[in-house]
Amino acid sequence: MTRALGVCYYPEHWPEDQWPRDAARMAEMGLRYVRIGEFSWSRIEPQQLNWGWLDRAFDVLADAGLQIVLGTPTATPPRWMLDKPPDMLAWDAEGRPRAFGSRRHYCFSHAGYKEECARIVTLMADRYGRHPALAMWQTDNEYGCHDTVLSYSPAARTAFQAWLARRYGDIDALNAAWGNVFWSMVYDSFDQIGLPNLTVTEPNPAHVMDFRRFSSDQVVDFNRLQVEIIRARSDAPISHNYMGRVTEFDHFDVGADMEVATWDSYPLGFMDEGRGKATEAMKREYARQGDPDFQAFHHDLYRAVGHGRAWVMEQQPGPVNWAPHNPAPLPGMVRLWTWEAFAHGAEAVCYFRWRQAPFAQEQNHAGLLRPDDAPAAGFAEAEAVAKELRDAPEVSAGQAPVALIFDYQAEWMWETQPQGQGLRYFDLAYQTYKALRRLGLSIDIVPVSHTDFASYAAVFAPGLAHVSADLAAELRCCPGTVVMGPRTGALTADFAIPATLPPDIAGFGVTVARVETIRADTPRALQGGGAATLWVETLEGGGDVLLACDDGAPVAVECGGGRIYVGAWLDAAGQDRMLRLALAESGLPLLDLPEGLRVRETETERFWINYGAQPVQFAGREIGAADVLREGVEVAV
């Protein structure tokens, strides 16, 4: 796999006589890809179709030897669209339509808007689908950004009722599955069912869960509509640009229809917003670098969503404009983030954006160029990576030794009924990922549909609230270590406690008799160090106790055959102890990395990545501040 750089560009923002100079400069600095078009609907179709400017933009970029990623413009329907299907707007949970004047203001369930999307995508694909400079498509832009998946509009209610009728077939089946005998919530017909908002107190969790599944399916269907139109008219691969910690829809389901997954990487903005749940001390220490694991987690996640193919479609090159605080990256970090993406298998990294816009909402968002065309701070670092890539070998991410199962439906279950303040599945999965990285391990993130665990030394499945029979069977056959819990197998697909009690998985030989959620400031100390916090289960059954609280209550139990159940949310010290105990027989080399230093191995290279603001010494190596050290690795023959 070759590695390349690109940039996001908006020719409609700049005078046409500037386009050739921009294109030549992009090519000169070593960029290969240019993404255009994703916000251009009002220029393409102010009222009548106007393709001329986009034709000329294609020609200018192609003449400079650049390859084009073309975005469909459906994330920003123009103002006249609201006069055509006036009820196309999404509604928030308070029952208010979301107004025009920004972006992503449509409802995924509105049939009329989907017809308009099909029309414009068809026209775009007919015109550019076979263009020789077209490298890839991007559908829409950032599904889920700005909390736009869950819509409570009349269109969503009608579509939800139809979705439920297809799922259950009979209203009595729905009543039984949801447990509607509770609180006299029984329905006589599907058209009586509303959306789970504006209820007096919490709605039925099974109702909420089905609404979350429905809402995700609406995104899948909306995306598939565009993919099928494009695929009939173009041989170029199709992608979508996902975001960091956006879990309102199942990215694996959306990605199943496309060849490549891309995502938008904004390390400083994400950390300052709290998406990785960094402590205040960590936010201060890494304010100009970002969380050392957040980007890596998403690189690994989207590599799985993209069937092994992933890009960074938008890489932060300087201060952003949307976080609570927007510092400049530490010198070296733009280069580090780029090489880190390549270390995790990215085929391309595209910077957002070419030139800082002097107007509208993002005018304080840095680009590679300042508004006066002078290079911004990130320009030189991107140019340096382009030069380094000329001598870099082709690389394959390969398979990591450890798998982490990630499930969007588990996130919805935890969010629907967290049982305690601030408890989220994403945080549990992410903290497990971080702990594995602190031990120097490379990780594959896989979906619950994964069917080949045989070659992994260890598989981790924290917090999978529901485990299907198929996944349980796969894990029983896994020859490596399997670590599950807490809350794994705690619910049926219909959001009920299983009759056999959790974890409802044959072969684990342990029963969760009781669940407590406890305050963060009342942790329960573990024998030997570390603590159980937030979520604590009372475990019954056999097995060897690996970790126990000071009072002797088991926290982690080895149930035989390398099957381990963890019955508590552990702090960092407890997590590290648990992982070392769980992996003691795995044969994996476990490191004790200094704070901020991470390592990632591919089939041919080892990358030492220092997120710290100071150089670090480790195992005879010195890795500079905000720097990446690349080493070749021996390839087994």
What's the per-residue H, E or C state across 113-144? Answer: HHHHHHHHHHHHHHHHCCCCCEEEEECCCCCC
Task: Detail the DSSP E strand segments found in 207-323.
Answer: 238-242, 260-265, 310-315
Q: What percent of the chain has pLDDT over 90?
A: 93
The whole-chain average pLDDT of the chain stands at: 96
pLDDT, tens only, 226-277 = 999 999 999 999 999 999 999 999 999 999 999 999 999 999 999 999 999 9
124-152 mean pLDDT:
97
User: Which residue intervals of the chain bear CATH 3.40.50.880?
Assistant: 402-582
CB-side exposure of 28: number of CA atoms within 13 Å?
A: 8
Judging by beta carbons within 10 Å of its beta carbon (0-12, 13-18, 19+), is residue 49 exposed, middle or buried? exposed
Tokens 């009543």 belong to 175
Q: How far, in whole angstroms, is CA 222 from its chain's centroid? A: 19
Packed helices 111-128 and 52-63: angle between N→C axes, nearest 10 degrees:
50
pLDDT score recorded for residue 126: 98
Neighbours of 418 (CB within 10 A): 14
Please say if the pLDDT value at position 620 is more than 80: yes
pLDDT, tens only, 38-74 = 999 999 999 899 999 999 999 999 999 999 999 999 9
Please say if the pLDDT value at position 637 is more than 50: no
Task: Detail the DSSP E strand segments found in 343-397.
Answer: 346-351
> Which amino acids are annotated catalytic?
142, 314
Rounded to whole angstroms, what are the CA distances from 598 to 432, 433, 437, 531, 595? 15, 12, 7, 25, 9
Judging by beta carbons within 10 Å of its beta carbon (0-12, 13-18, 19+), is residue 581 exposed, middle or buried? middle
Total residue count of the chain as it appears in this document? 637
Neighbours of 613 (CB within 10 A): 16
Q: What is the CATH T-level fold of the domain 402-582, as seen in this structure? A: Rossmann fold (3.40.50)
Tokens standing for residue 4: 């390349």
392 band by pLDDT with thresholds 50, 70 and 90: confident
Please state whether the predicted TM-score (pTM) of the whole model is above 0.95. Answer: yes
Q: Which of the 8 DSSP states describes residue 83? A: G
pLDDT, tens only, 14-32 = 999 999 999 999 999 999 9
Rounded to whole angstroms, what are the CA distances from 290 to 62, 221, 330, 364, 573? 35, 34, 10, 19, 22
CA distance 535 to 524: 10
